[in-house]
Amino acid sequence: MIHIAYYISAFDKSQAVRACTIIDAYSRVNPFVFFYIRTSAADWLFNLHLRNNYFYYEAKIDAIPLKAGGVKADSSSLLLEFEKFYEAWDEHLHHETQFLLENKIALVLGDIPPLAFAAARNVRVHSVGIGNFSPEELLQKYMAEIPGFMEYVKRMRHEYRHADLLLRLPFHSEMDAFRNIRDIPLVCRQARRRRNDIRRFLGCEPADRIVLLALDEKDQIRLNLDALKKFPHYKFVFPGTKSSDQKFIAFVEQSLPLEELINAADFVIALPEYRIIADCIANSSPLLFTIPEGTPVHAPLLDAAHNHCTSVFLNNEDFFQGNWREALLYLEDSPALDQNIRLDGAAVAARKIDDFLKSTTLHSSRRNVSAANPRKE
């Protein structure tokens, strides 16, 4: 059995979900692999998407998450979190080094905390990064305001240089801190269940227009529900507890993969997270989104929403006030976009990781044989 450590940042749920998609694909390529997941993302995300070929370890593996949407970022507080994390860097690195040694890890994957590549280097294990941006690129947006971020940008780029390979997803920035980059197609999740089955499961009538509110609780509470109640023949599906109003249908996030709901819905309301945009593309689902003020924005992801999704952007006020009627009518009348984008990124990533692992294992074996039996000239 081959042991692989997978370090997963938790900027939002995107990193965890796409890691699950890659793990699932890799398990079909090579059934003799076992994953050791290190992350601060919730364990239910992995329980929902994976079988039994992994151990989950909750761990602090990077500084405070940088969300693409949600609460307004406080740059001073963010700097403090980075200072705290890097003051304890040696302790973090020692702990992860011991973890890799104790579990006989053969390969480290990272999406995309610098600590993963530092620990791999410490134990002389090869490492592969996966992602569409690296957080130090977003940190640079704060440097004009607070120069103190410069130190952490340099440190993160230094550790990224130690990764042997980066599998770069679409909608990416340059990510030029990595030495060896291979582009792969979109990692996404397509629905497996029939659309009407999910709609019946939710208790919706055939004539209902279903709007998926793919928002965290802190964003849900900002919505003007009174405005939404005035929409005729619309029902709003959201993650959370049961609602007393029949127009609002709650579902338990831990019970149903989001891609099934995205496919079943007529419209998706969300912030611009990678997994939301990727799954809207994969399931041809219309998207209505906004960007909360003051949050770091990954521009290529926004371009993807406009160019590969049937989508509408609303300003913060209209979005959270529920002024959606015209936008939803526009989405309803808009034809689906002709997709010219590959959706098999997980399978491609799995093959590339397996090929990389085999090549490095073969190289190590030859090196060991050569050392034991030096060739005579």
- Measured between alpha carbons, how far is 281 from 342 in angstroms, rounded to an integer? 10
Given a cut of 80, is residue 338 above it in pLDDT? no
Band of pLDDT at residue 142, cut at 50, 70 and 90: confident
CA 73 to chain centre: 19
What sign has the CA pseudo-torsion 36, 41, 43, 45? negative
Nearest alpha-carbon partner for 97 in 62, 134, 125: 125
Q: What is the pLDDT of residues 287-326, one digit of tens each?
A: 999 998 877 778 999 999 999 999 999 999 999 999 999 9
Nearest alpha-carbon partner for 2 in 35, 31, 23, 33: 33
Q: What is the pTM of this model?
A: 0.93
- Measured between alpha carbons, how far is 265 from 260 in angstroms, rounded to an integer? 9
Just give the CATH number of 195-333. Answer: 3.40.50.2000
Read off the pLDDT of each residue in 113-117 and give the average, rounded to a whole number.
98
Provide the pLDDT for residue 264.
98
Domain span(s) for CATH 3.40.50.2000 in the chain = 2-187+344-372, 195-333
Provide the pLDDT for residue 363.
60
Provide the pLDDT for residue 5.
99
Fold that domain 2-187+344-372 belongs to in CATH: Rossmann fold (3.40.50)
Average pLDDT, the chain: 91
